[in-house]
Amino acid sequence: MSVQIAPSILAADFANIQREVEMLNASQADYIHVDIMDGMFVPNISFGLPVTEAIHRHATKPLDVHLMIVDPDRYLEAFTNAGAAVISVHLEACTHLHRTVQAIKALGCKAGVALNPHTSVSLLEDIIEDLDLVCLMSVNPGFGGQKFIPRTFDKVRKLKSLIDNSGSKSLIEIDGGVNQQNAPLLVEAGADVLVAGNFVFSSSNPIGTIQDLKLL
Ligand code: DX5
Ligand code: ZN
């Protein structure tokens, strides 16, 4: 299977959200990545439920919702109702991660766990079999358009072997600073899903850029 692409709507023109979603519908994107920031877990505030609902109303692609919020358990049901197909929570934001993951699945969503750049993938050893996706942050979460942290390559390889040795079917998603240079190396290391915000939306031809990433 070729690499899956999840353009991040955070980099879109919010004044024309319907047009941007329709552009993604017409592209080869596999998901629409939806970045939720609460100004607490991360220093920035993005958008919340009504905007997610509006994206979902126009989207023909599944929504990959990345919750960068404290105590995400409080909002799992609301984001499911807003149209999430995948919900990723941060390991660093969950005291009872196993319970949170089960709650996401009980709502009928795919369950993902995101790790900050400093968080070791070895912390997933006792939960990897329960996960549908692991989101490795390749920037510190909070903002689009940041520089990719090269240490991520090692983390992808380590996570890939953890997944293979456990029999888990979890996908490996990379989020932050993905571009044409690092994308092929990430795929070679074992990445299954690439999030791309600025690289897609700042390009003169976003549909073509998504296609180029797919063809890696
Ligand atoms: C960062 C977000 C990312 C971001 C990616 O906090 O989780 O999804 O939008 O954007 P780029 O690709 O521009 O780094
Ligand atoms: Zn994200």
**Cα 204 to averaged position of ligand 2 atoms, centre (Å):** 22
Asked if the interface predicted TM-score (ipTM) of this complex is over 0.90, the answer is yes
pLDDT higher than threshold 80 for residue 1: no
Q: Which atom of ligand 1 is nearest to the CA of 33?
A: 8
Q: What percent of the chain has pLDDT over 70?
A: 100
Task: Indicate whether residue 145 lines ligand 1 (CB < 6 A).
Answer: yes
- Residue 22's pLDDT is what? 98
Mean pLDDT in residue range 44-65: 98
Task: Indicate whether residue 38 lines ligand 1 (CB < 6 A).
Answer: no
- Ligand 1, atom 6, lies closest to the CA of 141
Cα separations in angstroms, 142 against 51, 69, 125 = 18, 10, 26
| Calpha distance 88→112 (Å, rounded) | 4
Per DSSP, 189 falls in state H
Closest CA to 81 of 53, 123, 48: 53
Task: Indicate whether residue 8 lines ligand 1 (CB < 6 A).
Answer: yes
Task: Indicate whether residue 9 lines ligand 1 (CB < 6 A).
Answer: no
The answer to whether 11 and 202 are in contact (CB under 8 A) is yes
- Residue 149's pLDDT is what? 98
Best residue for ligand 1 mutational test, from 195, 199, 203, 213 (most atoms within 8 Å of Cβ): 195
- Residue 216's pLDDT is what? 83
Structure tokens at 154: 């090692």
Over residues 146-184, the pLDDT tens digits come to 999 999 999 999 999 999 999 999 999 999 999 999 999
Over residues 60-85, the pLDDT tens digits come to 999 999 999 999 999 999 999 999 99
For residue 189, the number of C-alpha atoms closer than 13 Å in the C-beta half-sphere is: 22
Q: Which atom of ligand 1 is nearest to the CA of 141?
A: 6
**Cα 42 to averaged position of ligand 1 atoms, centre (Å):** 12
- Residue 170's pLDDT is what? 98
Is the pTM above the cut of 0.95?
Answer: yes
- Residue 58's pLDDT is what? 98
Q: What percent of the chain has pLDDT over 90?
A: 99
Mean pLDDT in residue range 31-37: 99
Q: Which residues, by Cβ under 5 Å, contact ligand 2, an ion?
A: 35, 66, 175
Annotated binding residues, as ranges?
8, 33, 35, 66, 142-145, 175-177
* Residues 6 or more apart in contact with residue 84 via CB below 8 angstroms: 34, 52, 63, 64, 65, 109
Task: Indicate whether residue 65 lines ligand 1 (CB < 6 A).
Answer: no
Over residues 73-118, the pLDDT tens digits come to 999 999 999 999 999 999 999 999 999 999 999 999 999 999 999 9
Coil vs helix vs strand at 136: strand
Say if domain 4-214 classifies as CATH 3.30.70.1710: no
* CA triple 135-63-86, angle to 5 deg: 50
| Calpha distance 203→114 (Å, rounded) | 27
**Cα 126 to averaged position of ligand 2 atoms, centre (Å):** 24
